[in-house]
Amino acid sequence: MAHIISLTNQKGGVGKTTTSVNLAVSLAVSEMKTLLIDLDPQSNATTGIEELLMESKGTIYDALIRGSATKDVITKTQLDYLDIITSTGDLVGAEVELVSVMAREHQLEKVLKPILRKYDYILVDCPPSLGLLTLNALTCSDTVIIPIQCEYYALEGLGQLLNTIRLVQKNLNPNLEIEGVLLTMYDGRLNLSKQVADEVRSYFEDKLFKTVIQRNVRLSEAPSFGKPVLLYDANSTGAQNYMSLVEEILSHGN
Protein backbone atom coordinates (compact mmCIF):
# COMPACT_ATOMS: atom_id res chain seq x y z
CA MET A 1 0.00 0.00 0.00
CA ALA A 2 1.25 3.47 -0.82
CA HIS A 3 2.58 5.66 1.95
CA ILE A 4 1.06 9.08 1.27
CA ILE A 5 3.09 12.15 2.25
CA SER A 6 1.89 15.75 1.93
CA LEU A 7 4.43 18.53 1.61
CA THR A 8 2.82 21.44 3.32
CA ASN A 9 3.38 24.88 4.84
CA GLN A 10 1.00 27.74 4.13
CA LYS A 11 3.98 30.07 3.99
CA GLY A 12 4.99 30.69 0.39
CA GLY A 13 8.38 29.95 -1.11
CA VAL A 14 9.75 27.68 1.62
CA GLY A 15 10.72 24.76 -0.63
CA LYS A 16 7.55 22.64 -0.81
CA THR A 17 7.70 22.17 -4.56
CA THR A 18 11.48 21.81 -4.76
CA THR A 19 11.23 19.12 -2.10
CA SER A 20 8.21 17.36 -3.67
CA VAL A 21 9.83 17.14 -7.09
CA ASN A 22 13.32 16.18 -5.99
CA LEU A 23 12.19 13.79 -3.28
CA ALA A 24 9.83 12.08 -5.75
CA VAL A 25 12.62 11.68 -8.30
CA SER A 26 15.11 10.49 -5.70
CA LEU A 27 12.61 7.89 -4.42
CA ALA A 28 11.98 6.76 -8.00
CA VAL A 29 15.69 6.44 -8.67
CA SER A 30 15.88 4.32 -5.51
CA GLU A 31 13.37 1.99 -7.21
CA MET A 32 10.41 3.03 -5.11
CA LYS A 33 7.31 3.23 -7.29
CA THR A 34 6.33 6.87 -6.78
CA LEU A 35 3.43 9.12 -7.77
CA LEU A 36 3.84 12.89 -7.53
CA ILE A 37 0.63 14.91 -7.28
CA ASP A 38 0.71 18.59 -8.14
CA LEU A 39 -2.08 20.00 -5.96
CA ASP A 40 -1.13 23.63 -6.52
CA PRO A 41 -2.80 25.83 -9.20
CA GLN A 42 0.62 27.48 -9.69
CA SER A 43 1.63 24.14 -11.34
CA ASN A 44 5.28 24.53 -10.38
CA ALA A 45 5.79 20.82 -9.78
CA THR A 46 4.37 20.08 -13.24
CA THR A 47 6.52 22.60 -15.09
CA GLY A 48 9.54 21.76 -12.91
CA ILE A 49 9.79 18.28 -14.51
CA GLU A 50 8.15 19.06 -17.84
CA GLU A 51 11.07 17.62 -19.82
CA LEU A 52 10.44 14.19 -18.28
CA LEU A 53 6.73 13.98 -19.03
CA MET A 54 5.42 11.52 -21.59
CA GLU A 55 2.15 12.04 -23.38
CA SER A 56 0.14 14.41 -21.25
CA LYS A 57 -3.06 13.12 -19.69
CA GLY A 58 -5.78 14.88 -17.72
CA THR A 59 -5.05 16.84 -14.58
CA ILE A 60 -5.85 16.62 -10.89
CA TYR A 61 -8.72 19.04 -11.51
CA ASP A 62 -10.29 16.57 -13.94
CA ALA A 63 -10.20 13.86 -11.28
CA LEU A 64 -11.31 16.02 -8.35
CA ILE A 65 -14.06 18.04 -10.01
CA ARG A 66 -14.95 16.55 -13.41
CA GLY A 67 -15.05 12.95 -12.18
CA SER A 68 -12.38 11.58 -14.56
CA ALA A 69 -11.12 8.10 -13.66
CA THR A 70 -7.84 8.25 -11.76
CA LYS A 71 -6.01 6.03 -14.27
CA ASP A 72 -6.90 8.54 -16.99
CA VAL A 73 -5.15 11.44 -15.27
CA ILE A 74 -1.84 9.73 -14.50
CA THR A 75 0.99 10.93 -16.75
CA LYS A 76 4.00 8.67 -17.14
CA THR A 77 7.52 10.04 -17.06
CA GLN A 78 10.82 8.99 -18.58
CA LEU A 79 11.65 7.40 -15.23
CA ASP A 80 10.14 3.91 -14.93
CA TYR A 81 9.37 4.35 -11.26
CA LEU A 82 7.85 7.84 -11.43
CA ASP A 83 4.36 8.96 -12.48
CA ILE A 84 2.73 12.35 -11.97
CA ILE A 85 -0.75 13.82 -11.81
CA THR A 86 -0.30 17.30 -13.20
CA SER A 87 -2.15 20.52 -12.47
CA THR A 88 -3.05 23.65 -14.40
CA GLY A 89 -4.35 27.05 -13.38
CA ASP A 90 -7.97 25.86 -13.47
CA LEU A 91 -7.32 24.10 -10.17
CA VAL A 92 -7.73 27.49 -8.54
CA GLY A 93 -11.48 27.07 -9.08
CA ALA A 94 -11.49 23.83 -7.10
CA GLU A 95 -11.07 25.68 -3.79
CA VAL A 96 -14.51 27.18 -4.36
CA GLU A 97 -16.12 24.35 -6.31
CA LEU A 98 -15.31 21.81 -3.59
CA VAL A 99 -17.25 23.82 -1.00
CA SER A 100 -20.60 22.51 -2.18
CA VAL A 101 -19.46 18.90 -2.72
CA MET A 102 -20.55 16.22 -0.23
CA ALA A 103 -17.65 15.02 1.94
CA ARG A 104 -15.64 17.81 0.40
CA GLU A 105 -12.49 17.09 2.43
CA HIS A 106 -12.41 13.46 1.23
CA GLN A 107 -12.32 13.98 -2.53
CA LEU A 108 -8.59 13.41 -2.99
CA GLU A 109 -8.83 10.33 -0.78
CA LYS A 110 -11.50 9.00 -3.17
CA VAL A 111 -9.35 9.80 -6.20
CA LEU A 112 -6.37 7.91 -4.76
CA LYS A 113 -8.20 4.88 -3.43
CA PRO A 114 -8.15 2.84 -6.68
CA ILE A 115 -4.38 3.22 -7.15
CA LEU A 116 -2.99 2.78 -3.64
CA ARG A 117 -1.61 -0.67 -4.45
CA LYS A 118 0.26 0.56 -7.49
CA TYR A 119 2.71 2.76 -5.58
CA ASP A 120 5.16 2.67 -2.69
CA TYR A 121 5.02 6.43 -2.17
CA ILE A 122 2.57 9.16 -3.15
CA LEU A 123 3.80 12.74 -2.60
CA VAL A 124 1.36 15.65 -2.63
CA ASP A 125 2.73 19.14 -3.33
CA CYS A 126 0.33 21.51 -1.52
CA PRO A 127 -0.43 25.15 -2.34
CA PRO A 128 0.64 27.90 0.09
CA SER A 129 -2.68 28.09 1.93
CA LEU A 130 -4.70 26.09 4.42
CA GLY A 131 -7.78 25.94 2.16
CA LEU A 132 -9.78 22.97 0.96
CA LEU A 133 -7.05 21.64 -1.34
CA THR A 134 -4.61 21.37 1.56
CA LEU A 135 -7.34 19.89 3.79
CA ASN A 136 -7.96 17.25 1.11
CA ALA A 137 -4.23 16.46 1.09
CA LEU A 138 -4.04 16.17 4.89
CA THR A 139 -7.18 14.04 5.04
CA CYS A 140 -5.78 11.38 2.70
CA SER A 141 -2.18 11.43 3.95
CA ASP A 142 -0.34 9.11 6.30
CA THR A 143 2.22 11.78 7.12
CA VAL A 144 3.28 15.35 6.40
CA ILE A 145 6.65 16.88 5.71
CA ILE A 146 6.87 20.53 6.75
CA PRO A 147 9.65 22.39 4.93
CA ILE A 148 10.97 25.41 6.83
CA GLN A 149 13.15 27.99 5.15
CA CYS A 150 16.16 29.08 7.22
CA GLU A 151 15.20 32.76 7.06
CA TYR A 152 13.73 35.49 9.20
CA TYR A 153 10.21 34.69 10.45
CA ALA A 154 10.76 31.00 9.67
CA LEU A 155 8.48 29.92 12.50
CA GLU A 156 5.79 32.50 11.80
CA GLY A 157 2.48 30.84 11.00
CA LEU A 158 3.70 27.45 12.15
CA GLY A 159 1.31 27.48 15.10
CA GLN A 160 -1.60 27.82 12.69
CA LEU A 161 -0.32 24.91 10.60
CA LEU A 162 0.15 22.66 13.65
CA ASN A 163 -3.32 23.62 14.82
CA THR A 164 -4.77 22.66 11.42
CA ILE A 165 -2.96 19.32 11.60
CA ARG A 166 -4.44 18.72 15.08
CA LEU A 167 -7.94 19.57 13.82
CA VAL A 168 -7.54 17.17 10.90
CA GLN A 169 -6.33 14.46 13.30
CA LYS A 170 -9.36 15.05 15.49
CA ASN A 171 -12.05 15.33 12.83
CA LEU A 172 -10.94 13.94 9.49
CA ASN A 173 -7.91 11.68 9.71
CA PRO A 174 -6.88 10.29 13.13
CA ASN A 175 -3.91 8.47 11.58
CA LEU A 176 -2.14 11.58 10.31
CA GLU A 177 1.41 11.97 11.67
CA ILE A 178 4.31 14.32 11.11
CA GLU A 179 6.95 12.51 9.03
CA GLY A 180 9.38 15.33 9.72
CA VAL A 181 10.24 18.98 9.66
CA LEU A 182 12.80 19.80 6.99
CA LEU A 183 15.20 22.73 7.05
CA THR A 184 15.62 24.17 3.55
CA MET A 185 17.89 26.77 1.96
CA TYR A 186 20.35 26.36 4.82
CA ASP A 187 23.51 28.43 4.50
CA GLY A 188 26.19 27.30 6.94
CA ARG A 189 28.05 30.61 6.53
CA LEU A 190 25.15 32.55 8.00
CA ASN A 191 24.54 32.87 11.71
CA LEU A 192 20.88 33.33 10.87
CA SER A 193 20.65 29.84 9.34
CA LYS A 194 22.24 28.35 12.47
CA GLN A 195 19.91 30.29 14.75
CA VAL A 196 16.82 29.16 12.86
CA ALA A 197 18.09 25.57 12.89
CA ASP A 198 18.64 25.71 16.69
CA GLU A 199 15.23 27.22 17.26
CA VAL A 200 13.46 24.64 15.09
CA ARG A 201 15.43 21.80 16.72
CA SER A 202 14.48 22.87 20.23
CA TYR A 203 10.85 23.17 19.16
CA PHE A 204 10.46 19.93 17.19
CA GLU A 205 13.26 17.82 18.72
CA ASP A 206 13.17 14.34 17.17
CA LYS A 207 10.67 15.39 14.48
CA LEU A 208 13.37 17.42 12.74
CA PHE A 209 15.03 15.56 9.86
CA LYS A 210 18.79 15.07 10.36
CA THR A 211 19.13 15.85 6.66
CA VAL A 212 19.29 19.57 5.96
CA ILE A 213 18.73 20.95 2.45
CA GLN A 214 21.43 23.50 1.82
CA ARG A 215 21.02 26.58 -0.30
CA ASN A 216 22.21 25.41 -3.69
CA VAL A 217 21.92 27.33 -6.94
CA ARG A 218 21.55 24.08 -8.95
CA LEU A 219 18.24 23.44 -7.17
CA SER A 220 16.89 26.80 -8.30
CA GLU A 221 18.24 26.50 -11.86
CA ALA A 222 16.99 22.98 -12.59
CA PRO A 223 13.24 23.82 -12.90
CA SER A 224 13.88 26.37 -15.64
CA PHE A 225 15.21 23.43 -17.69
CA GLY A 226 12.15 21.38 -16.75
CA LYS A 227 14.36 18.89 -14.94
CA PRO A 228 14.82 17.63 -11.40
CA VAL A 229 18.24 18.36 -9.95
CA LEU A 230 19.38 14.71 -10.20
CA LEU A 231 19.11 14.89 -13.99
CA TYR A 232 20.39 18.45 -14.21
CA ASP A 233 23.49 18.07 -12.04
CA ALA A 234 23.71 14.74 -10.24
CA ASN A 235 26.87 15.75 -8.38
CA SER A 236 25.42 18.93 -6.91
CA THR A 237 24.94 19.41 -3.20
CA GLY A 238 21.21 19.72 -3.83
CA ALA A 239 21.02 16.31 -5.51
CA GLN A 240 23.04 14.75 -2.68
CA ASN A 241 20.90 16.37 0.02
CA TYR A 242 17.69 14.93 -1.47
CA MET A 243 19.26 11.47 -1.79
CA SER A 244 20.11 11.58 1.95
CA LEU A 245 16.55 12.66 2.68
CA VAL A 246 15.34 9.54 0.84
CA GLU A 247 17.62 7.36 2.96
CA GLU A 248 16.27 8.95 6.11
CA ILE A 249 12.64 8.50 5.02
CA LEU A 250 13.22 4.89 3.97
CA SER A 251 14.74 4.26 7.41
CA HIS A 252 11.44 5.40 8.97
CA GLY A 253 9.76 2.42 7.31
CA ASN A 254 6.35 2.57 5.74
Ligand X SMILES: Nc1ncnc2c1ncn2[C@@H]1O[C@H](COP(=O)(O)OP(=O)(O)OP(=O)(O)O)[C@@H](O)[C@H]1O
The residue ranges that bind ligand X (CB under 6 A) are 12-18, 40, 42, 44, 128, 184-185, 213, 215-216, 219-220, 223, 238
CA 155 to chain centre: 19
Q: Three-state SS across 37-95?
A: EECCCCCHHHHHCHHHECCCCCEHHHHHCCCCCHHHHCEEECCCCEEEEECCHHHHHHH
Torsion, Cα of 161, 12, 128, 148 (10° steps): -40
User: Closer to Mg ion at the Cβ: 16 or 227?
Assistant: 16
216 binds, among Mg ion, ligand X, none (CB under 5 to 8 A by kind): ligand X
Minimum CB distance to ligand X, residue 108 (Å): 17
- Helix (H) / strand (E) containing 162: helix 158-171
Q: What is the DSSP letter of 2?
A: P
Residue 203 in contact with residue 159, Cβ under 8 Å?
no
48 binds, among ligand X, Mg ion, none (CB under 5 to 8 A by kind): none
User: Closer to Mg ion at the Cβ: 83 or 125?
Assistant: 125
Q: What residues make contact with Mg ion under the rule CB under 5 A?
A: 16-17, 44
User: Closer to ligand X at the Cβ: 124 or 185?
Assistant: 185
User: Closer to ligand X at the Cβ: 44 or 107?
Assistant: 44
Minimum CB distance to ligand X, residue 143 (Å): 18
